[in-house]
Amino acid sequence: MQRTIFEPEHEQFRDSVRRFMQAEVAPHADRWRKEGMVDRETFLKAGEQGLLCVFADEKYGGAGIKDVRFDQIIIEENMRHGDIGFYIHLHSDLVAPYIHKLGNDEQKDRFMPGIVSGETILAVAMTEPGTGSDLAGMKTRAVDKGDHWILNGTKTYISNGILGDLIVVAARTDPDRPHGISLFLVERGMEGFERGRKLEKMGLKSQDTAELFFNDVKIPKANLLGEAGQGFKYLAQMLAQERLIAAICFLGTAQTAFDLTLYYVKERRAFGKPIGAFQNTRFKMAQMRAELDMAQTYIDQCVLLLNDNALSAEDASAAKLLTSELEGRVMDQCVQFHGGAGYMEEYRISRMYTDARISRIFAGTSEIMLEIIGRGLGLDERKMN
């Protein structure tokens, strides 16, 4: 289905992004999966190309463009022509906005130039062993010592955990309040900040995911992000954008899987004709095409709402829910159409299948998304009793 949200300058930008992904990312994807990590130099090259934090002010090296459609294009082209493990979207669209929106002038002057250039790679650390979506159960603590904070705790499943140079860390600062959380900027090399093992995962093999340990880390007062005790509110404010960015990724991979499979069913022959000529194949492909187009229309509308600062938590949750569930169904069907080849690691569809399984879990599980949408309908037992 024709998409109508893009202007000519967006399409020109898409062409340049595609060329970058094909030249600087795709050729390294196999090696990255074996090594379990992308090259730091790729972030630098993306910075040189102007693909990191396009929203950042020009004085920091950015383009100053507050239009999420450009970010959407970068994500889509990376999913199609780059590598899913190159977490450019985590760096630019999930973590950098915390610093851009919550940071004071001193913090932005200190960190944003390196973030935009790719010298400073970003990560965010919220999840802990034993707690996922339940931020109120957070055990990592930061104690105010007057002229600094002392941070102690453990985080796990942290994307960019090995590569990350600057980590936005959520920690409890008010033990008497369930949501008494603050955000801190933890820098590579701080004494007491240690990285654990690089975690082995079912999929996303080229994305470095790690445990992080904080043992009496001395955090300068200048590295408190925003106001103390307001971290839960800040995290909630950023979740709508986070979930929409995730949805763009999920739909981008689903679209790619469909395209790969459409080509395959036209070329692969069985019983004397292409398998795409069988009615079952034709009908299943048609169903996927219709669902993908429907989801794309919804996501594009959400992007426009985010541009207008009008994207609600419920709409973002629906975007994340629908695209992650659709991605899972599409991947399963596409593997099925590839037959035995779909189970072989050498085929991209096999790797995409395992990559996609996490989509219904991170950035809030499908069950949490349903809960948010349901509460938005007024179906909240806390308010109905």
The residues carrying an active-site annotation are 242
Give the CA count within 13 Å in the CB-facing half-sphere of 162: 16
Both tokens assigned to 1: 């289905």
Number of residues that make up the chain:
385
Angle (CA) 180 182 183, round 5°: 155
Helix axes 313-338, 366-376, angle to 10 degrees: 140
How many Å apart are CA 154 and CA 201, to the nearest integer? 19
Q: Taking Cα atoms as reference points, which of 336, 326, 315, 310 lies closest to residue 249?
A: 326
Closest Cα to residue 338, out of 238, 272, 261, 225?
261
Q: 107-115: long-range contacts at Cβ-Cβ below 8 A with a sequence spacing of 24 or more? A: 107/185, 107/222, 107/223, 107/225, 108/60, 111/166, 111/185, 112/53, 112/56, 112/57, 112/60, 112/61, 112/62, 113/60, 113/61, 114/165, 115/52, 115/53, 115/56, 115/60, 115/91, 115/166
Q: How would DSSP label each residue in 125-159?
A: E--BTTBSS-GGG---EEEE-SSEEEEEEEEEEEE
Q: How far apart are alpha carbons 83 and 10 in whole angstroms?
A: 21
| Unique residue bearing structure tokens 């689903």 | 254
Spatial neighbors of 13 by CB under 8 A, at least 6 apart, are 70, 73
- The three-state secondary structure class of 122 is strand
Residue with tokens 């202007």: 7
